[in-house]
Each structure stands twice: as C-alpha cells, then as structure tokens.
Amino acid sequence: AIELDGRNAVYYGNRAAAYSKIGNHRRAINDCEIALQIDPTYSKAYGRLGLAYSSLDKHKEAKEAYQKALEMEPDNESYKNNLQLAEEKLTQQGVSNMGLGGANPGLPMDLSSLLSNPALMGMARQMLSNPGMQNMLGDLMSGNIEQGGRMEALIEA
C-alpha cells in the first residue's frame, strides 16, 4: 500500500502497528514519525509512537507522544490510561534514581536536588496526607515513640 501511495499517513501508522506487534519498535517509531510528517494531526500515530517508546523504556518520549495524541482526541480513554502509565513509570524511574549510589562517601547529600525532585515531593505529600502517618511522625519527632511495636507500625505505613 505504501508503494502505491507513499503520502498516506494511515499506511505508515498501520505498518508501525505491525512492527510493534512483532517487537520491532524502532521501525515502528520511524514509521510513526513519517506518518506524522505527512499528517501532524494523526492521533493514532502519536498513540502508536507512545506504545513503541514505552516498549523501549523511553517513558519521557512516550509521555510526550500520549500528550500529543490527547491534544487531538481529548476523550480517548486509551490515550489517557497510557499517559498515566508512562507518568507512573517516569515516577518509578525517578525514585530508583534517587539512591545515593553515585554520591561520594563523606560528602553531604545535595538536599536541594532531592527537594526539587517532583517524584520525591509527590511521595512525601501522599505520605503526609495519611493521618496515621502524621500521628506516628509527630510521636517520633517528640520522642514519644515506644520501642518495638510502634516502630513496626511506622515501617508498615
């Protein structure tokens, strides 16, 4: 079909879907990009581009593709769900990258970079919105935490 009409974005989008199905995500990305050069409003190409990027663990690029797809089709539940998944994967990557593996021993932690990390701040907000956690942290800060049982409760929360 592409040989007959190389200016039809749908053909490239369909071939991208076929490439993704067989695990050739790089070619899927290439075909999606060609489809979008032909028709920048082709939402399915953005959606398929997002899927291909996600399959390659390129969640930032996937998120951008899903956002573009949603600009074209704001009510598309599939794009909304895939965008949410890409954002969750980015948050997970951010959390796993917050480890101190690269920090030099003996040097102070860069607290400002930790506090400016949106993933960390989101987790802190979520944790601090839990009333049980607020009570336990209050006890911990005031020195009223008992040995043993309450500490396990803090760890479980």
> Is 56 part of a structural domain of the chain?
yes
Same domain, 92 and 148: no
Counts for the chain of helices (H) and strands (E), in that order: 9, 0
Q: Which of 63, 96, 129 is the last residue of a domain?
A: 96
Same domain, 79 and 130: no
Q: Looking at this protein, which amino acid is placed at residue 18?
A: A
> Is 4 part of a structural domain of the chain?
no
Mean per-residue pLDDT over the chain, rounded: 81
| Among 33, 74, 75, residue whose Cα is nearest residue 50 | 33
> Is 1 part of a structural domain of the chain?
no
| Contact of 13 with 31, CB cutoff 8 Å | yes
Q: Residue 51's pLDDT is what? A: 96
> Is 132 part of a structural domain of the chain?
yes
| Among 96, 101, 86, residue whose Cα is nearest residue 52 | 86
Structural domain for 36, as ranges? 9-96
Same domain, 68 and 34: yes
Same domain, 13 and 42: yes
Same domain, 73 and 126: no
DSSP string, 67-105: HHHHHH-TT-HHHHHHHHHHHHHHHHHHHHTTSSTTSPT
Whole-model pTM over 0.75: no
| Contact of 12 with 37, CB cutoff 8 Å | no
Same domain, 80 and 135: no
Residue 82 pLDDT > 80: yes
What does the alpha-carbon distance between residue 51 and residue 29 come to, in Å, rounded to a whole number?
9
Out of 43-47, 113-117, 127-131, give the one with best mean pLDDT.
43-47
| Among 65, 68, 69, 62, residue whose Cα is nearest residue 85 | 62
The CATH number given to whatever domain includes residue 34 is 1.25.40.10
> Is 120 part of a structural domain of the chain?
yes
Q: Residue 14's pLDDT is what? A: 96
Q: Residue 103's pLDDT is what? A: 46
- Tally of structural domains, the chain: 2
Same domain, 92 and 115: no
> Is 139 part of a structural domain of the chain?
yes
Q: Which of 45, 69, 96 is the last residue of a domain?
A: 96
> Is 103 part of a structural domain of the chain?
no
Q: What is the pLDDT confidence band of residue 146, given thresholds at 50, 70 and 90? A: low
Least confident interval from 69-73, 78-82, 98-102, 120-124: 98-102
Same domain, 72 and 138: no
